[in-house]
Amino acid sequence: MTTKYLGLLLSIAVALGCGTAGTPAPSTSGPRGSLDKKVIKDVIREHHREVRACYEMELTRQPDLAGRVLSQFTIAPTGDVVQVVLRDSTLGSPSIEECVRHRLLSWKFPRPVGGAVEASYAFNFFPSP
């Protein structure tokens, strides 16, 4: 799948309200932070090939595999992703879901202003036409 095509799918997910949300992480103590949605999307786009590789490894075994993985993750004040929860998946592939979760945990974002940030993102996976 071309980068342009994947970018289109990611853009559609964002347009449908399934993309990033730079909302503060729920916390009972300490400050709540913020990070611009565009910054979050830019980092995700920088790493999209890593997530795509998770899908393509499984696609060799299941050529018709397609679906969406909705992730929610916490960006610490350092910019590190410290928690990932997969809120929904239509793939039905635990191996892809775990790979996506693992990849997200390795990403580094710019430091949020004012504390940790919770974000969500829908990764859409479809075989190349």
CB 75 within 8 A of CB 119: yes
Q: Which residues pair with 73 in a beta bridge?
A: 84, 119
- Give the model's confidence band at 111: pLDDT under 50 very low, under 70 low, under 90 confident, else very high: very high
How big is the CA angle at 94 (ends 8 and 99), to the nearest 5 degrees?
Answer: 60
pTM for this model (two decimals): 0.75
Structure confidence by residue, pLDDT tens digits, 18-55: 343 444 444 444 338 999 999 999 999 999 999 999 99
pLDDT tens-digit readout, 56-76: 999 999 999 999 999 999 999
